[in-house]
Amino acid sequence: MGRWFLNVCIATALLQAVYHAVRVLVSYRILNLGGDATSVGIVTALFALTPLLLAVRIGRAVDRHHTATLMRIGVALTAFGTVVIAFSGNLGVVAAGNILLGFGQILVTLTGQSFVSLLSPPGELDRGFAGLTLGVSIGQAVGIPAVGLIVSLSSDASGVHTAPALFVMAAVSALAIPFAFALHDPGPAEHDGPRAAPESVSSMARTPGMKAALLSSLVVLSSMDLVLAYLPVLGSEFGFSVMTVTLLLTARTVATIASRAFLPRLLTRVPRERLLVSATLCSAVPMALIPFVPHPVPIAALLVIAGAFWGIGQPLTMTWVVGLVASTDRGAALSLRLTGNRLGQVVVPLAAAGAAGVAGVASIFVITGGLLCLSAASTWHAVRRPSFRN
């Protein structure tokens, strides 16, 4: 791994700190503006709407070697979207800022993954993706408690004030500029032969194992998002302070960091297929139990268990997906994975918003546990096939 990898990881850590911290702040801002759990679900879904529509086109642009340019655009959109949310005075402006933030996030996420898939030495993809997602988790671990502290210090009896924390996050996104601009578009890999016609998205989706990989990634990411969006709402119902919710989210993130840091070593001792199944199966029960233990300590323990297994799943599904296609289609394959993720981020929060309106916030965590079980069954079926690639 060269200097490019350090630049990608630092830029990713800084920007992911912004995305995850701002998404928690958005939930509180919606509540301050008179919104409810349904409003949180709708605005959370809008974060993924533009990426859902454009992810595959962005992936094709990456395969045409525009990776660095797209990352720079993503940094700019991230800063601008955060400022828009900071100045928002109604739910419509919050939604618009969240859409911009989501567009910036898909650009940064896809280009970072593509740099790893294109520039990593042969046999080092797991290590590269583990390092990249470790940067994501470190960003979360720093960003979320930082804004929690800022909000706690700036709030008073009149309410929760999020604007100061949002401006700080806009400044953090600007810190990523020198690292993003130091990156250059990677050319064709040395081992690539003459470029073949791009494989169609429908053909990729029909590849054995692809649907299971996409479902696993979708469900894990949607579960993380629902925790970010709805733990503040559930915490409010339980009477938790902003700092308590922040510490709970940080506990989940620290567990994810630990699992990703040890993933390369873990792969030498545990078969890949078992790790892939465990990523969803072993986090299902902890998620479903969260609303039934209204005390911070057991909730923290449940989040630590779920976070540890989620940390395993994301990098392994990246390697799984790119291993199913030619090297010249890796950007498109990663974009297909992210399209599935964003579809989940649109559909699942909207369904969660409906469930919250009918059955309360607690139902969201129970339903998420069921989805994790379903994904585990799908992954187990896929990895048992002879065509599964280690």
Q: For 210-258, how does the pLDDT look when each residue is reduced to its tens digit (9 = 90+)?
A: 888 888 888 888 888 888 778 888 888 888 888 888 889 888 888 988 8
Contact 274, 309 (CB under 8 A): no
Position 192 in a domain: no
Q: What is the mean pLDDT of the chain?
A: 83
Position 144 in a domain: yes
Q: For 301-346, how does the pLDDT look when each residue is reduced to its tens digit (9 = 90+)?
A: 999 999 999 988 888 888 888 788 777 777 778 878 877 777 776 7
Position 22 in a domain: yes
Q: How many domains does the chain have?
A: 1
pLDDT at site 24? 82
Domain around 86: 3-184+201-383
Q: For 268-289, how does the pLDDT look when each residue is reduced to its tens digit (9 = 90+)?
A: 888 888 898 998 999 999 999 9
Confidence check: pLDDT of 41 > 80:
no
End-to-end CA distance of the chain: 22
> Does residue 244 or residue 125 have the better pLDDT?
244
Confidence check: pLDDT of 131 > 50:
yes
Confidence check: pLDDT of 386 > 70:
no
Position 195 in a domain: no
pTM comes to 0.72
Position 219 in a domain: yes
Position 250 in a domain: yes
Split at pLDDT 50, 70, 90, the class of 349 is: low
Which residue in 324, 258, 241, 376 sits closest to 332, CA to CA? 324
Position 190 in a domain: no
Contact 318, 129 (CB under 8 A): yes
For residues 234 and 222, what is the distance between their CA atoms, to the nearest angstrom?
17
Mean pLDDT (whole number) for 78-82: 93
Burial of 75 (0-12, 13-18, 19+ CB in 10 A): buried
Position 236 in a domain: yes
Q: Which CATH number belongs to the domain containing residue 224 in this structure?
A: 1.20.1250.20
Contact 299, 232 (CB under 8 A): no
